[in-house]
């Protein structure tokens, strides 16, 4: 761990270099990959929207949709209600499209520029179709090493197939296991490809969960989204492997606006994982994604995120602005959508993965761990909108604030007039580490039906000194003790993650809390 290591300042190496090296060790995905890229002109105009659409070879309906969104976006104001502070964003000072110059999509994995392959390899993301673990925190390791490492905690799961869609800045560079998935009837490809290859499906579902002018950032995304993932699971199919997308922002001053659409048709099941990182840069970068999930009758979607965008340095310089709209629609009876998120990155997070429980007896779940350290700010939570009868939802949120960070859980549970027999249970626990951080809980509960049973509990506390002392008496150092206790605090949520992800998430918790004690 960086601060436990002695740093000898040699002659000729200035303090800044030492600091920088330290930072590099703290955020392990902060390297920049040198690759020539092709960008849209800086700034955002109607021409930018047309440029992106043209680059993607999009049909007219898609361009029209983008332009409509852009027109509406110009009339909208950036939301200010979240408990976060950041300097005004100059939307004209960003690039809205950046792609590796050598072409956006490659025929075979062998055509992917070696720099990008190496980049993803450094991140532990397997772009070659080997049976390996999805690693999120394996920088500096080869996938093989990551496997050995993770295998310690996750015996028996070490060899599992995970299909990956890798998004590098604005474009999807590789999608693995496509053929095998096709055999099962599962469509898994970049959204750009899907717009061309499955326009009828995309047209039917895109924008049906998050409408064009839903909110400022979602509308911006609709206008300028450049890539993302499309998944369609046909009726009755249980997706044979975990699907995942790995997002990477590399280029400077570049916003990433990805769009993900997952449709689980009647009686199907899919588990989807999402991971994200970005290089360390001094300036802030914008990430405004939209994720739409549609679950039809008896279908289930499990969506897990490990978000580890660059959080900025320890003084709060740089980092990603993560302004994301994620929403799932349990459109038909007995469908289920489950969100699990481990949020450790980003300078500012604004994110509320939500469920619209429209179908009778549908189920929505939200499991969240959010860790903020240094000067990070996070305003995150969920909305459970109960429209159908006998719909149930469950919210478990664990927030850990350390350093100078500020964290808010913001959630809505809403029961509509006709929704008989609704059940909700919400538990929000916050843990403060240190006395310079803040943890806030802002739940909204709206009940319009007397048969609803809604329970909400929230607590705020700090790590018990008794427990810390107990662990240390047994020989753990303070950081290990904190990490152990924090893991215990988060257990209910960690259990929800797919096994191979949970191991990585635990390690990530450790890294994120480095330097928070002592």
Partner 1 sequence: MRPNHQFTEFEKALIASMPAEGSEAGAILSGTGLPSRRDERWKWTDVRAALREEKQSSVQSVSSRAPLLSLDQPIEFLFANGHLSQAPAGLPEGLTLSRGGDYPLFRENLPNIATEKAEATYVLTVSGKLDRPIHLRFLSEGSGMHHTSVQVVLEEGAEASIVESLEGSDGAWFANGVMRFRLAKGASLERLILQQAHDDAVQVHFAMANLAAGANFTQGTLGFGSKLCRLETQVLHEGEGARAVLNGAYLLSGRRHLDNTTDVGHTVPGCVTEELYKGVLADKGRGVFQGRFYVARDAQKTDARMAHNALLLSDEAEVDAKPELMIYADDVQCAHGNTAGALDTEALFYMRQRGLSEAQARAMLVQAFVVEAFGHISNEDVKARLMVLIETWLEAQS
Q: What angle do CA 260, 310, 2 make, to 5 degrees?
A: 140
Residues 6+ apart with CB under 8 A from 13: none
Q: Measured between alpha carbons, how far is 337 from 310 in angstroms, rounded to an integer?
A: 28
Give 272 or 489: the residue with its C-beta nearer to partner 1.
489
Among residues 305, 312, 259, 256, the alpha carbon closest in space to that of 283 is found at 312
464 near partner 1 (CB under 8 A): no
Q: Which stretch binds partner 1 (CB under 8 A): 154-162, 170-178, 387-395, 455-463?
A: 455-463
Instruction: State in angstroms the smallest separation of the CB of 464 from partner 1.
Output: 11
Which residue in the set 452, 468, 471, 482 belongs to the binding site for partner 1 (CB under 8 A)? Answer: 452
Instruction: State in angstroms the smallest separation of the CB of 342 from partner 1.
Output: 22
457 near partner 1 (CB under 8 A): yes
3-state secondary structure 140-166: CCCHHHHHHHHHHHCCCCCCCCEEEEE
Instruction: State in angstroms the smallest separation of the CB of 447 from partner 1.
Output: 4
Which residue in the set 445, 476, 484, 517 belongs to the binding site for partner 1 (CB under 8 A)? Answer: 445
Give 162 or 402: the residue with its C-beta nearer to partner 1.
402
Instruction: State in angstroms the smallest separation of the CB of 421 from partner 1.
Output: 11
Which residue in the set 448, 469, 488, 495 belongs to the binding site for partner 1 (CB under 8 A)? Answer: 448
240 near partner 1 (CB under 8 A): no
Q: Which stretch binds partner 1 (CB under 8 A): 34-42, 139-147, 345-353, 439-447?
A: 439-447
Give 250 or 516: the residue with its C-beta nearer to partner 1.
516
Encoded tokens for 511:
């890294």
Which residue in the set 200, 435, 466, 474 belongs to the binding site for partner 1 (CB under 8 A)? Answer: 435
Q: Which residue matches tokens 């994604």? A: 289
Among residues 119, 229, 123, the alpha carbon closest in space to that of 181 is found at 229
Instruction: State in angstroms the smallest separation of the CB of 132 from partner 1.
Output: 41
Instruction: State in angstroms the smallest separation of the CB of 465 from partner 1.
Output: 9
Q: How many CB atoms lie within 10 A of CB 465?
A: 8
306 near partner 1 (CB under 8 A): no
- Kindly give the pairing relationship between strand 229-233 and strand 187-190: antiparallel
316 near partner 1 (CB under 8 A): no
- Kindly give the pairing relationship between strand 187-190 and strand 319-330: unpaired
Q: Which stretch binds partner 1 (CB under 8 A): 61-69, 230-238, 243-251, 435-443?
A: 435-443
Encoded tokens for 207:
């924008």
- Kindly give the pairing relationship between strand 290-295 and strand 300-307: unpaired
**Burial readout 128-163 (b: 16 or more C-beta within 10 A, e: otherwise):** ebeebbbbbbbbebebeebbebbbeebeebbebbbb
441 near partner 1 (CB under 8 A): yes
C-alpha distances in Å from residue 394, one per residue of 90, 326, 337, 385: 38, 17, 11, 12
Give 240 or 421: the residue with its C-beta nearer to partner 1.
421
Among residues 293, 221, 257, the alpha carbon closest in space to that of 76 is found at 221
DSSP labels for 375-443? T-EEEEEEEEEE-STT-EEEEEEEEEEETT-EEEEEEEEEE-TT-TT-EEEEEEEEEEESSS-EEEEEE
Q: Name which of residues 52 to 91 contact partner 1 (CB under 8 A).
A: 81
Give 181 or 454: the residue with its C-beta nearer to partner 1.
454
Instruction: State in angstroms the smallest separation of the CB of 354 from partner 1.
Output: 17
Give 46 or 446: the residue with its C-beta nearer to partner 1.
446
Q: Name which of residues 404 to 423 contact partner 1 (CB under 8 A).
A: 417
Give 261 or 482: the residue with its C-beta nearer to partner 1.
482
Q: Which stretch binds partner 1 (CB under 8 A): 47-55, 144-152, 252-260, 441-449?
A: 441-449
Q: Which stretch binds partner 1 (CB under 8 A): 43-51, 386-394, 426-434, 473-481?
A: 426-434
Give 150 or 400: the residue with its C-beta nearer to partner 1.
400
Instruction: State in angstroms the smallest separation of the CB of 463 from partner 1.
Output: 9
Encoded tokens for 70:
């852009």
Encoded tokens for 457:
């509990």
Instruction: State in angstroms the smallest separation of the CB of 316 from partner 1.
Output: 17
Instruction: State in angstroms the smallest separation of the CB of 408 from partner 1.
Output: 8
DSSP labels for 16-75? HHHHHHHHHHHSTT-------EEEPPSS-SHHHHHHHHHHTT--HHHHHHHHHHHHHHHH
Q: Using DSSP, how many helices (H) and how many strands (E) does the chain show?
A: 13, 23
Residues 6+ apart with CB under 8 A from 103: 111
Give 157 or 442: the residue with its C-beta nearer to partner 1.
442
Give 275 or 388: the residue with its C-beta nearer to partner 1.
388
447 near partner 1 (CB under 8 A): yes
Instruction: State in angstroms the smallest separation of the CB of 72 from partner 1.
Output: 16
Q: Which residues bind partner 1 (CB under 8 A)?
A: 81, 417, 430, 432-462
């Amino acid at each position: 761990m960086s601060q436990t290591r002695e740093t000898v300042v040699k002659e000729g190496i200035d303090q800044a270099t030492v600091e920088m090296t330290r930072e590099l060790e703290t955020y392990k995905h902060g390297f920049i990959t040198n690759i020539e890229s092709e960008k849209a002109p800086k700034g955002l105009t109607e021409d930018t929207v047309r440029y992106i659409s043209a680059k993607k070879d999009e049909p007219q309906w898609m361009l029209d949709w983008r332009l409509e969104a852009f027109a509406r976006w110009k009339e909208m104001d950036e939301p200010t209600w979240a408990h976060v502070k950041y300097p005004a964003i100059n939307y004209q000072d960003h690039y809205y499209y950046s792609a590796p110059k050598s072409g956006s999509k490659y025929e075979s994995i062998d055509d992917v520029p070696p720099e990008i392959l190496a980049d993803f390899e450094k991140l532990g993301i397997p772009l070659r179709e080997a049976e390996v673990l999805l690693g999120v925190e394996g920088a500096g390791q080869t996938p093989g090493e990551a496997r050995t490492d993770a295998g310690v905690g996750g015996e028996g799961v070490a060899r599992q197939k995970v299909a990956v869609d890798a998004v590098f800045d604005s474009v999807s560079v590789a999608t693995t296991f496509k053929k095998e998935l096709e055999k099962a009837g599962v469509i898994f490809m970049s959204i750009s490809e899907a717009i061309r290859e499955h326009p009828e499906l995309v047209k039917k579902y895109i924008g049906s969960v998050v409408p064009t002018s839903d909110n400022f950032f979602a509308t911006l995304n609709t206008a300028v989204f450049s890539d993302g993932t499309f998944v369609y699971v046909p009726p009755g199919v249980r997706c044979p492997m975990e699907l995942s997308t790995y997002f990477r922002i590399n280029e400077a001053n570049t916003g990433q606006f990805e769009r993900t659409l997952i449709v689980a048709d009647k009686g199907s099941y899919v588990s989807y994982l999402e991971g994200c990182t970005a290089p360390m840069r001094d300036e802030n970068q914008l990430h405004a994604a939209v994720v739409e999930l549609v679950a039809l009758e008896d279908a289930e979607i499990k969506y897990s995120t490990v978000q580890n965008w660059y959080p900025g340095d320890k003084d709060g310089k740089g980092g990603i602005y993560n302004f994301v709209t994620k929403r799932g629609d349990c459109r038909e009876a007995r469908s289920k959508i489950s969100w699990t998120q481990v949020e450790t990155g980003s300078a500012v997070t604004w994110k509320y993965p939500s469920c619209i429980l429209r179908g009778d007896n549908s189920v929505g779940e939200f499991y969240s761990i959010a860790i903020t350290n240094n000067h990070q700010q996070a305003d995150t939570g969920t909305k459970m909108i109960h429209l159908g009868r006998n719909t149930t939802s469950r919210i478990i949120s664990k927030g850990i604030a350390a350093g100078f960070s500020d964290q808010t859980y913001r959630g809505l549970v809403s029961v509509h007039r006709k929704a008989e027999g609704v059940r909700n249970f919400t538990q929000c626990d916050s843990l403060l580490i240190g006395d310079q951080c803040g943890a806030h809980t802002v739940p909204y509960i709206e009940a319009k039906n007397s048969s609803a049973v809604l329970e909400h509990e929230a607590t705020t506390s700090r790590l018990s000194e008794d427990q810390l002392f107990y662990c240390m008496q047994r020989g753990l150092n303070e950081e290990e003790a904190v990490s152990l206790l924090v893991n215990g605090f988060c257990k209910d949520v960690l259990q929800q993650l797919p096994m191979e992800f949970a191991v990585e998430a635990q390690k990530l918790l450790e890294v994120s809390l480095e330097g928070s004690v002592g």
